[in-house]
Structure 1
Amino acid sequence: MVSPVLALFSAFLCHVAIAGRICPKPDDLPFATVVPLKTSYDPGEQIVYSCKPGYVSRGGMRRFTCPLTGMWPINTLRCIPRVCPFAGILENGIVRYTSFEYPNNISFACNPGFFLNGTSSSKCTEEGKWSPDIPTCARITCPPPPVPKFALLKDYRPSAGNNSLYQDTVVFKCLPHFAMIGNDTVMCAEQGNWTRLPECLEVKCPFPPRPENGYVNYPAKPVLQYKDIATFGCHETYKLDGPEEAECTKTGTWSSLPTCRASCKLSIKKATVLYQGMRVKIQEQFKNGMMHGDKIHFYCKNKEKKCSYTVEAHCRDGTIEIPACFKEHSALAFWKTDASELTPC
């Protein structure tokens, strides 16, 4: 028979052994919480692992009891992110992403000619849904363009009902005698608006001056306007230097104002010269003088080599300089050979 003292002592040692085997604070589990969370647990106490919002459990147990050994069982529970629905394709646009897991963001952009109808980015929420909702790419359209004052539509073909699509163009023209300031062509831009519209302004030009030794003709009306034409001419023996016609421009000035240049009277009575690549007699070709701008080539002698060369002379507004090397052939010196008859050097 066991003595009462020995039985009491054995019970005390068993209590001490059992009391010393408490469980420590459980290991941390990524993206999970423990309830209740303490620094130690007595045998028989329970804990429950729960995945944080946005994560779901995969494998292993969630509930554990502190055993008499004081060692928690191996925990194979894993908390993984929720996955939102696939959103990698956006019609008429692109999606930029790394993954569709919580809590990642994805961004959106539309192709040229389309705009985002909705948000530019979405986040995968705790519930595994996209927030805000996935957008769509809508086609960019422009309403009918406003017509500037004093302008008309020259070329307008709406391609979406009464509206125009991105990069469609419209061409304007101004009413007669109104000048266009700006580009006559506007385009449907990426914001759904038209590029800058032109202006049509009334333009008047002063009466063009008559050139000295010439004349000018223009429309017989009180005011000369944009695109009106003036024509110029010169009196006999004068030549027009500049265009025969001038136009009233959008700046209110004439496109050009020509002048009349005088012809050149030649002091040479008789000579053979080159004119437009042909040998001509100066007394016949230019008996009334040379017109402004005409060029001739005089023959000169190279006495040492007994050959000839040519030097150019140019009529400029009544003045021509005869080359110093040219010697007019005298009829009295019939035995001398004219420079034009010598072999070219």
Structure 2
Amino acid sequence: MISPALVFFSSLLCHVVIAGRTCPKPDDLPFAVVVPLKSFYDPGEQITYSCQPGYVSRGGMRRFTCPLTGMWPINTLKCLPRVCPFAGILENGAVRYTTFEYPNMISFACNPGFYLNGTDSARCTEEGRWSHEIPVCAPITCPPPIVPKFAKLRDYKPSVGNHSLYRDTAVFQCLPHHAMFGNDTITCTTHGNWTVLPECREVKCPFPSRPDNGFVKYPANPQLYYKDKANYGCHDTFVLDGPEEVECGKYGNWSAQPSCKASCKLSVKKATVLFQGEKVKLQERFKNGMLHGEKVSFFCKNKEKKCSYTEDAQCVDGTIEIPKCFKEHSSLAFWKTDASDVKPCESDSKRKYMRQIVASNEFWLLDESLLQRVGGNLLDIYSFASVKATEKFHT
């Protein structure tokens, strides 16, 4: 017969062994919750995994029972985010996104010339739907432009009814006697308004003064305005220095102030000179004198080298300086050769070629390495050009 005390001790020992095999708190799964959640579980107790809102279960088991071993089975359950459907194409705009998964957002933007009619973003919700519908990109329009005072529209064509679209333009023109200050063309902007309007102002010019030894013609009106014109001319033997026609400008002054320059009376009676690259008889070509601005080259002799060179002379408002080296040839001295018939000095030709090189900037087209050595100094450039001239005339 078994003692009652022995039976009680055995049952107590068995209970202790079973109680020592409780299951610990289950492992956390990303985006999942455990019900019920406790620090430990007795054998036979059940737990259930469920995914958080916005996530769905994939693979594995959702319900587990604490085994007698006290170790939870390996759980392969995964909670993955819901995926919202393709948002669609935004005409005249763009949809910006990284992913369509919950809880990400997408944003909307319109192309230049369009504005967003609707929300600028949407979120993928817990239910796997977008929080807002895709918006519409509507065209930006500008109202009919305001016409400035003393102006009129020269070019304007509305695109939508009587409204204009982004980048449409309107061109203004001032009324007679008025000058425009600002841009004559305005543009419809992305803000639905026009760029700055120009201003038309009445402009008056004083009556042009008559030049000495000349005359001026202009409209016989009590007042001269913007764009009015005046014409100048000179009396015989005088030359107009400036344009024949001038115009009243937007700032109330004339575009130029021409003057009449006197011609030059030549003290030389007979000479052969260079005029516009050709030899001419001074007494024939300029029998009535030289006009202001005209230039000739006189021939001079180099007695030591027995050659000729030229010196320039120009008529400036009635005055011309004859080169000191020039000697007027006498027909009585028939044994003497006129300077214009003597062979040119080589140095004179080289000097003229050097001047042409420097004046026309041709030295920039020469050897680049040599130019780097002269360093851009003006005297070095002339020296360098002289060397090039020597090379040219010796080839």
Aligned match of 2:293:
293
Listed as ranges, the matches of 1:149-228 within 5 Å are 149-228=149-228
Listed as ranges, the matches of 1:124-163 within 5 Å are 124-163=124-163
Number of residue pairs matched by the alignment: 345
Q: For residues 194-217 of structure 1, what are the alpha-carbon distances to aligned partners after superposition, in whole Å with 9 as ceiling and x for unaligned?
A: 222222111111222222222222
1:307 positional shift: 4.0
Give secondary structure in 1 for the equivalent of 2:106. Answer: strand
More strand by share: 1
- The whole-number CA distance in structure 2 between the counterparts of 1:120 and 1:261 is 74
Aligned match of 1:322:
322
Aligned match of 2:120:
120
Which runs of 5 or more residues in structure 1 are unaligned? Answer: none
- The whole-number CA distance in structure 2 between the counterparts of 1:82 and 1:185 is 54
- The whole-number CA distance in structure 2 between the counterparts of 1:187 and 1:165 is 9
Q: Larger deviation: 54-63 or 257-266?
A: 54-63
What TM-score results when the alignment is normalised by the length of structure 1?
A: 0.91
- The whole-number CA distance in structure 2 between the counterparts of 1:82 and 1:16 is 47
Q: For residues 76-109 of structure 1, what are the alpha-carbon distances to aligned partners after superposition, in whole Å with 9 as ceiling and x for unaligned?
A: 3211111122136432222332211112222333
- The whole-number CA distance in structure 2 between the counterparts of 1:127 and 1:91 is 27
Aligned match of 1:260:
260
Query: Is it true that 1:308 corresponds to 2:325 in the alignment?
Result: no
Listed as ranges, the matches of 1:10-89 within 5 Å are 10-87=10-87, 89=89
1:227 positional shift: 0.4
Q: For residues 288-331 of structure 1, what are the alpha-carbon distances to aligned partners after superposition, in whole Å with 9 as ceiling and x for unaligned?
A: 32110011122222334544333221111111111112111234
More helix by share: 2
Aligned match of 1:243:
243
1:154 positional shift: 1.4
Aligned match of 1:93:
93
Q: Larger deviation: 92-101 or 227-236?
A: 92-101
What TM-score results when the alignment is normalised by the length of structure 2?
A: 0.80
- The whole-number CA distance in structure 2 between the counterparts of 1:42 and 1:10 is 21
Q: Which amino acid aligns with 2:107?
A: S
Task: Determine if contact 2:113/2:165 at 8 Å carries over to the other structure.
Answer: yes
Q: Which amino acid aligns with 1:196?
A: V
The percentage of counterpart residues that share the same residue type is: 75
1:259 positional shift: 1.6
Q: Larger deviation: 98-107 or 319-328?
A: 98-107
- The whole-number CA distance in structure 2 between the counterparts of 1:169 and 1:133 is 35
Aligned match of 2:373:
none
Task: Determine if contact 2:88/2:134 at 8 Å carries over to the other structure.
Answer: no
Q: Which amino acid aligns with 1:96?
A: R
Q: Larger deviation: 77-86 or 278-287?
A: 278-287
- The whole-number CA distance in structure 2 between the counterparts of 1:140 and 1:245 is 48
Q: Larger deviation: 255-264 or 136-145?
A: 136-145
- The whole-number CA distance in structure 2 between the counterparts of 1:285 and 1:333 is 24
For the aligned residue pairs, the C-alpha RMSD in angstroms reads 2.2
- The whole-number CA distance in structure 1 between the counterparts of 2:189 and 2:139 is 12
Give secondary structure in 2 for the equivalent of 1:130. Answer: coil
Aligned match of 1:283:
283
- The whole-number CA distance in structure 1 between the counterparts of 2:312 and 2:118 is 79
- The whole-number CA distance in structure 1 between the counterparts of 2:120 and 2:249 is 50
Q: Which amino acid aligns with 1:186?
A: I
Q: For residues 19-63 of structure 1, what are the alpha-carbon distances to aligned partners after superposition, in whole Å with 9 as ceiling and x for unaligned?
A: 222221111111112232221122343333222222122233333
Task: Determine if contact 2:81/2:102 at 8 Å carries over to the other structure.
Answer: yes
1:225 positional shift: 0.9
1:131 positional shift: 3.3
- The whole-number CA distance in structure 2 between the counterparts of 1:260 and 1:228 is 22
Q: Which amino acid aligns with 2:243?
A: P
Q: Larger deviation: 181-190 or 105-114?
A: 105-114
- The whole-number CA distance in structure 2 between the counterparts of 1:251 and 1:120 is 51
- The whole-number CA distance in structure 1 between the counterparts of 2:5 and 2:314 is 150
